[in-house]
Chain A
Amino acid sequence: FFRSNMSAILKNLTAPMDFEGQRKAEMLIHIIISTCGVVGIVFGWFQQEYSKCIYTIFAGMFLCSLLVVPNWPYYKGTQMKWVDDALVDKYWDALAEKEDGKEGKEEKEEEKKKRKK
């Protein structure tokens, strides 16, 4: 029971995000890392060690990787409507016919020129 549940959860978390979710995720990254940087600079200034600043930025990156990289339900909201497969096939078939028609005309013109020569 637990194993089947776990694999379902993992599949859910590794699935791709939609556009709104991507926007939220990148805003979150920017906010967290800039504040970590500012806090780190102030922290490092009072101890006179720049390495503390770098360590806080890396801690922020680790925190972000937990919050942003897996596909949490927070990032799923807007319903993405994908076009039906049948419609897409129809579209591509129509395009192919148009190109075939054009190529057919070009071949007829070339054949006419050759006959003239």
Chain B
Amino acid sequence: MGERRMYSMVQRLNTLSTITVTNVAAFTCVLALSTFYFHLNVDMEPHVDVKINAVHKFGRLGVNRYYGNEEAHVTLDLDADLRPLLHWNVKQLFVFVSASYTTKLHKTSEVVLWDFIISSKEQAQFYFQGVTNKYPLVDKGKNLRNANITLKFHWNTMPHSGLLFFHSKAGSSPMTFPSKYIQGNPDPVPSY
């Protein structure tokens, strides 16, 4: 067996790495507490506007098209400047657009149409026109015709360490859906 000592160079290295990791944890707590400074002192209102550009396909799902649920494919106009939301404790911003409307059966329905992950300042500013939705607007029932639809923009702040925040902002122009079905072409290519 090799010689064994109670205290050696390797143990010194172990002590060093333990102290380093403990300090990193302590300073990460400081980072987490510093988020409250941003929420209290700095203005964190983003400039956001979303609306529907056009409905380009509208019909019913399923094999027997009389009994299926209604589905619509829309294109969106997105105008967003989310740079005030980014600070040093933000790892990602998860951002999504949802359509909300009222029907006879259900009081409010909200369907997510488009989402995006923002990690840096370059991605935080965008102006898309005519982006097709990632997920179609599918209703539970057949109540989309003549429905009054408002788009809402939600953002989910994911920190490096600390609390998660979730806010939303309504779009400016609600839209009434057409009363007749539209046959429509296959989905156009998204522009992001």
Contacts and interface: CB of A to CB of B under 8 A. Distances in A.
Interface of A: 14, 16-17, 22, 25-26, 29-30, 33-34, 37, 40-41, 44-45, 48-50, 53-54, 57-58, 60-61, 64-65, 68-71
A54 B24 contact: yes
Interface stretch (B26-34, B68-76, B93-101, B179-187): B26-34
B27 A57 contact: yes
B87 interface: yes
Contact of B19 (A14, A16, A33, A45): A33
A40 B160 CA distance: 16
A52 to B, nearest CB: 9
Contact of B12 (A25, A30, A41): A25
A16 B7 contact: yes
Contact of A16 (B5, B24, B31, B34): B5
17 contacts: A22-B7, A26-B15, A37-B27, A40-B27, A41-B27, A44-B88, A45-B34, A48-B87, A49-B88, A53-B27, A57-B20, A61-B16, A65-B16, A68-B12, A68-B16, A69-B12, A69-B13
Interface of B: 5, 7-9, 12-13, 15-17, 19-20, 23-24, 26-27, 30-31, 34, 87-89, 160
Contacts, number: 58
A34 B23 contact: yes
A65 B13 contact: yes
Contacts of A16: 5, 7-8
Contacts of A57: 20, 23-24, 27
B26 A69 contact: no
